[in-house]
Structure formats: structure tokens, C-alpha cells
Amino acid sequence: MERNPYTPPAAAVADPENAPPSERPKSVTNAIRLVWLTFVIGIPFGFYSTATSDAGAGAVVVALVVVAIVDAVAFGICFWLLDGVGKGKNWARIVLLVLFLLGVAGSLLTPVMIKALGQSVPESTVLEWSVMLVQDGLMIAALFLMFSPSARPWFARRP
């Protein structure tokens, strides 16, 4: 029997079963909110700790301008990464995790490096440690939500 070249293909045609969800999971939305909350907590604290430093008035003004510039750049990076997370980009949540781990490592190693240089470590206030712990806790919760089983399908490869 000859094959008819005009017959339709015999292969099954269907949408893939493992397609990422079309609606963003609540865990991802809540994670994004937690990261923004962490950022919002950090901005005023950065200005407060700079403005209340023991440096002279001129140095404080310069430091406040630097803090404003750093915060603006950090806002742009945060917006870009969270936009990627919101769109299901797996690389964005991985970059957030790596940046968080680098930040924690830097916070923990700074006093060690200062002592290694033979200088005295400035005493941190209870407020500074409290804010840092709250921010770290919020980021841990956000990262946990981003990497939770309910969020994984959102970050699956998209066709």
C-alpha cells in the first residue's frame, strides 16, 4: 500500500503537560513583597545612621549624597531583579540568593577584617543589629518562598 502524502501526521499534537502556570503563585507574590519591605526598611535606616554619625557636618553631607546615589542604584537593581522574579525568570531568584549570601558574608567578615588590620571595631548599636536581623529574616523568608515547591513551576523554562 502506498503512502498518501496528503494525509495528516499520525503524531499526537497537544499542549505540553508540564507548562508553567499562567498565573503567578501567591508564594512568589509574597516573596516579592517581602523583598520590597526589606528594601523600604533599609533606606531610611541608611540615611539615619549616616546623619547621626560622629563625622563633621561637611562629611555627613557628602556621605548622605553617596548614600542617596547607592540607594538609587540599589533600587534599580532590585526593581530589575524583582521584575525578573515576577516574570518567572529563574536566574533572577538565583542572583537574589547569591547577593543575599554575599551580603551576609560581608556583614559577618567586616569586624574580622577590621581587627586583622589592627583597628578597633566600632560598637554597633542595638538599633543597627535589630534592623539588620529584621532585614535578614525578611530576606530568608522571601528566598524560602521563591524556592518553595509551590513556586518552582513558575520558574520552569518557558517555551
Per-residue pLDDT of the chain (159 residues; tens, 9 = 90+): 577 888 877 777 666 666 666 789 999 999 999 999 999 998 888 888 777 777 777 787 888 888 899 999 999 999 999 999 999 999 999 999 999 999 888 888 877 777 787 777 666 667 787 888 899 999 999 999 999 999 999 998 765
Q: Please name the residue that has the C-alpha cell 541608611.
A: 46
| DSSP codes joined into one string, 63-116 | HHHHHHHHHHHHHHHHHHHHHHHHTT-HHHHHHHHHHHHHHHHHHHHHHHHHHH
100: closest CA among 156, 42, 139?
A: 139
Sequence spans of domains, the chain? 26-152
Nearest residue to 139 (alpha-carbon basis) of 42, 62, 66: 42
Task: Find all residues with CB under 8 Å of 93, minimum gap 6, and list them.
Answer: 84, 85, 143, 146, 147, 155
Query: What does the alpha-carbon distance between residue 92 and residue 151 come to, in Å, rounded to a whole number?
Result: 13
> In this predicted structure, what is the pLDDT of residue 149?
93
- Which amino acid would we find at residue 103? G
